[in-house]
């Protein structure tokens, strides 16, 4: 069985939640490897819709251990809200483990996120304002607070004596904003400490044992490759590493045990927030796809930008992550189109380019090269076998496989668990 690394291949919201929930059925562990409560993962079971910001999407399978890994930054308030909501819905959270090494979003982080965005003016990034960037910055500066600090409140207080003046200085002197007091933070986080204590553990032995005994472990990524701090459209990225390398670091695992790197791709493309998006449709066609695909952010409710499938991005994501299997989602959203377009590569300053380049001003100004394929004009929502898809839909999927350079093993034709075409017995 081994480790399945699930990564978003585009700009996030590819349907990772749905796919992880499906694969979690026979997993020992689902581990959220990085990102924070900027993520929003949706799982639809029968007529119930669950939205997860932090809790791994395997949580609806009672026998599966769900781990929030060391690579995550979490806001304890948001986590507790999620825990309470799930418990009210009848979910069993006794199998939830939060790594002591995961970092916490502190009350000043969302405030700084907003202030920094405002200071950027027209060059703002369009963050989720959840404080994720400022929390990761503090982790790198080694002034972050970790979940394990909740079990050592004297230590947490001592660290606040050092860190809080640094933060208040910026808030007050640079932004003329209100400072935070040590007492209010201590009171708030002492409350979280007692409520989260039952989940805080070192996941190292659990994860290592599962891996050593060959059980299935799923690393659930958040965001997507093009939002990766190093590999994405910097600076219009998130502050973590959504790619497969980041997944391993965020889980505390090496590549030896990885059996499959599963890339999740939407059958078209979406992006929330600012930054280059070569295949963006800024017209009625884009509006149509946004409405038909319900493309509004799970976390912030913002309308998502929409565009055609970008095979140059897909090829790049396959290469940099080592993707050897693809799950293609939301094929049904294209059902009624007469013609479907796919970007096969770009032309930049008269020269062909086969992958997204580092220079974002080049990326903003290039010309996508499109191939047109005939639409299929009928619903795929009821289809469960690949060979039962309309032949034009089969051709579309096969063309995407060729262009991306990896096999499509799972096709999603609706948000529900059953609305899935599996082309592989197991992973
Ligand atoms: P994630 O962040 O990658 O987990 O994706 P999100 O949950 O943010 O966004 C994906 C949205 O598409 C959710 O509302 C899902 O319920 C929905 N969805 C997933 N797969 C399909 C599909 O195949 N067809 C349709 N129509 N909706 C889907
Ligand atoms: P999931 O896991 C889509 C985007 C934000 C913004 C940029 C930086 O649901 O796919 P941040 O708050 O992280 O500093 O914002 O990253 N972003 C996402 N876009 N899906 C996500 O997560 C995202 N998480 C962050 O919109 O453009
Ligand atoms: Mg999402």
Render 399-410 in DSSP notation, one character per residue.
HHHHHHTS-EEE
pLDDT at 425: 83
Query: Are residues 33 and 138 both part of a single domain?
Result: no
pLDDT band at 230; cut points 50, 70, 90: very high
The count of domains in the chain is: 2
pLDDT classification of 224: cutoffs 50, 70, 90: very high
Last residue of a domain, one of 183, 199, 215: 199
Q: What pLDDT band is residue 345 in, cutting at 50, 70 and 90?
A: very high
Tell whether ligand 2 has an atom less than 6 A from the beta carbon of residue 229: no
Residues, CB-to-ion distance under 5 Å, ligand 3: 13, 40, 298
- Render pLDDT for 351-371 as a digit per residue (tens, 0 to 9): 999 999 999 988 888 999 999
Cβ–ligand 1 contact at 200 (below 6 Å): no
Q: State the burial class of residue 396 (Cβ atoms within 10 Å of its Cβ: 0-12, 13-18, 19+).
A: buried
pLDDT digit string, tens, across residues 231-262: 999 999 999 999 999 999 999 999 999 999 99
Boundary (domain end) residue, out of 170, 199, 228: 199
Number of C-beta neighbours around residue 62 at 10 A = 10
The CATH number linked to 173 is 1.10.300.10
Share of the chain above pLDDT 70, in %: 100
Q: Encode pLDDT of 154-199 as tens digits.
A: 999 999 999 999 999 999 999 999 999 999 999 999 999 999 999 9
Q: Which atom of ligand 2 is closest in space to residue 273's alpha carbon? A: 27
Residue nearest to atom 10 of ligand 1 (CA): 15
Active site (annotated) includes residue 46: no
pLDDT band at 112 (very low <50, low <70, confident <90, very high): very high
Catalytic option among 41, 75, 109, 332: 41
The pLDDT of residue 231 is 98
Q: Which of 38, 52, 114, 250 to mutate to test the pocket of ligand 2 (most atoms within 8 A of CB)?
A: 38
- In this structure, how many other beta carbons lie within 10 angstroms of the beta carbon of residue 100? 18
Q: Give the domain extent around 181.
A: 103-199
Q: What is the pLDDT of residue 304?
A: 96
Three-state SS at 85: helix
Q: pTM above 0.95?
A: yes
Is there a single domain that holds both residue 84 and residue 157?
Answer: no
Same domain, 180 and 266: no
Q: Which residue has the tokens 């809200």?
A: 81
User: Do 235 and 124 share a domain, yes or no?
Assistant: no
DSSP assignment of 204-257: HHHHHHHHHTT--EEEE--S-GGG-TTTSSTTSS-SS--SHHHHHHHHT--GGG
Quick one: average pLDDT of 34-53? 96
Same domain, yes or no, for 120 and 266?
Answer: no
Q: Whose CA is nearest to atom 12 of ligand 1?
A: 15
Question: What is the phi-psi region of residue 349: left when phi exceeds 0, alpha when psi lies from -120 to 50, beta otherwise?
Answer: left
Same domain, 402 and 330: yes
- pLDDT at position 364 is 87
Query: Is residue 98 included in any domain, yes or no?
Result: no
Residue 281 within a domain: yes
Which DSSP string do the residues of 309-325 spell out, in sequence order? EEHHHHHHHHHHHT--E
Does 416 share its domain with 281?
A: yes
Tokens for 325, please give them. 């299997």
Residue 288 scores a pLDDT above 90:
yes
Cα separation, 59 vs 103, in Å, equals: 21
Is residue 299 a part of any domain in this protein? yes
User: What is the C-alpha to C-alpha distance for residues 180 and 166, in angstroms, rounded to an integer?
Assistant: 11
pLDDT at 1 over 90: no
Q: Over range 110-126, report the average pLDDT.
A: 97
Best mutation site among 227, 237, 242, 266 for ligand 2, i.e. most ligand atoms within 8 A of its Cβ?
A: 227
Q: Is the pLDDT of residue 305 over 80?
A: yes
8 lines ligand 2 (CB under 6 A): yes
* 174 & 62 share domain: no
In the residue annotation, 13 being an active-site residue is answered as: yes
Q: Is the CB of 239 under 6 A from ligand 2?
A: yes
* First vs last C-alpha separation in the chain: 7
Residue 97 lies in a domain: no
Please state the φ and ψ torsions of residue 124, each to the nearest 5 degrees: -60, 160
Question: Would you say residue 95 lies in a domain?
Answer: no
Q: Are residues 259 and 282 in the same domain?
A: yes
**What is the average pLDDT score of the chain?**
97
- Together in a domain, 307 and 402: yes
Closest-approaching ligand to the CA atom of 241: 2
Instruction: Kindly state if the Cβ of 39 falls inside 6 Å of ligand 2.
Output: yes
The per-residue b/e assignment along 215-234, b for 16 or more CB within 10 angstroms, e otherwise, is: bbbbbbbbbbbbbbbebbbe
What pLDDT is recorded for position 300?
A: 83
Length of the chain: 427
Q: Is 14 in the pocket of ligand 1 (CB under 6 A)?
A: yes
Q: What is the CATH number of the domain that holds 345?
A: 3.90.170.10
What's the pLDDT at 298? 79
CA distance linking residue 81 with residue 79, whole number of Å: 5
Same domain, yes or no: 156 and 126: yes
Ligand 2 pocket, mutate which of 232, 235, 238 (most atoms under 8 A from CB): 238
- Average pLDDT (53-73) is 97
pLDDT value at residue 91: 92
- Please give the structure tokens belonging to residue 178: 């209100």
Q: Are both 339 and 216 inside the same structural domain?
A: yes
Model pLDDT, residue 299: 78
Q: Is residue 96 part of a domain?
A: no
pLDDT band at 35 (very low <50, low <70, confident <90, very high): very high
Domain boundary, last residue among 199, 231, 254: 199
Report d(CA 266, CA 264) in Å as an integer.
7
Counting ligands in written order, the one closest to the CA of 300 is: 2
pLDDT band with cut points at 50, 70 and 90 for residue 152: very high
Would you say residue 427 has pLDDT above 80?
Answer: no
Q: By alpha-carbon position, which residue is closest to atom 6 of ligand 2? A: 127
């Amino acid at each position: 069985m081994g480790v399945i690394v699930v990564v978003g291949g585009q700009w996030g919201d590819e349907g990772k939640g749905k796919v992880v929930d499906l694969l979690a059925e026979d997993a020992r562990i689902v581990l959220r490897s990085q990102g924070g409560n900027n993520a929003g993962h949706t799982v639809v079971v029968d007529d119930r819709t669950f939205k997860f910001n932090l809790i791994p999407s395997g949580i609806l399978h009672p026998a599966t251990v769900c781990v929030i890994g060391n690579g995550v930054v979490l806001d304890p308030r948001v986590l507790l809200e999620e825990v309470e909501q799930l418990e009210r819905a009848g979910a069993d959270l006794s199998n939830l483990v939060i790594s002591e090494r995961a970092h916490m979003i502190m009350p000043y982080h969302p405030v700084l996120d907003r202030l920094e965005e405002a200071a950027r003016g027209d060059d703002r990034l369009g963050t989720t304002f959840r404080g994720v960037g400022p929390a990761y910055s503090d982790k790198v500066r080694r002034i972050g607070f970790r979940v394990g600090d909740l079990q050592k409140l004297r230590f947490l207080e001592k660290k606040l004596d050092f860190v809080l003046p640094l933060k208040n200085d910026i808030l007050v002197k640079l932004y003329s904003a209100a400072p935070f007091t040590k007492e209010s933070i201590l009171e708030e986080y002492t409350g979280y400490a007692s409520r989260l204590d039952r989940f805080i553990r070192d996941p190292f032995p659990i994860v290592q044992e599962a891996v050593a005994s060959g059980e299935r472990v799923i690393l659930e990524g958040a965001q997507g490759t093009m939002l990766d701090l190093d590999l994405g459209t910097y600076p219009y990225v998130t502050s973590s590493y959504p790619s497969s390398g980041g997944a391993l670091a965020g889980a505390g695992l090496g590549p030896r045990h990885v059996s499959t790197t599963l890339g999740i791709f939407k059958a078209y493309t979406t992006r929330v927030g600012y930054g280059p998006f070569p295949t963006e449709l800024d017209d009625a066609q884009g509006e149509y796809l946004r409405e038909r695909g319900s493309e509004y952010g799970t976390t912030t409710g913002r309308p998502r930008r929409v565009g055609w499938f970008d095979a140059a991005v897909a090829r790049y994501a396959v290469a940099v992550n080592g993707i050897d299997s693809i799950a293609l989602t939301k094929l049904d959203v294209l059902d009624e189109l007469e013609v479907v377009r796919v970007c096969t590569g770009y032309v930049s300053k008269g020269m062909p380019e086969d992958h997204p380049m580092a220079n974002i001003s080049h990326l903003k100004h290039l010309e996508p090269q499109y191939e047109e394929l005939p639409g299929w004009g009928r619903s795929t929502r009821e289809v469960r076998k690949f060979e039962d898809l309309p032949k034009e839909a089969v051709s579309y999927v096969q063309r995407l496989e060729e262009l991306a350079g990896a096999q499509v093993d799972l096709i999603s034709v609706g948000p529900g668990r059953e609305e899935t075409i599996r082309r592989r017995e197991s992973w």
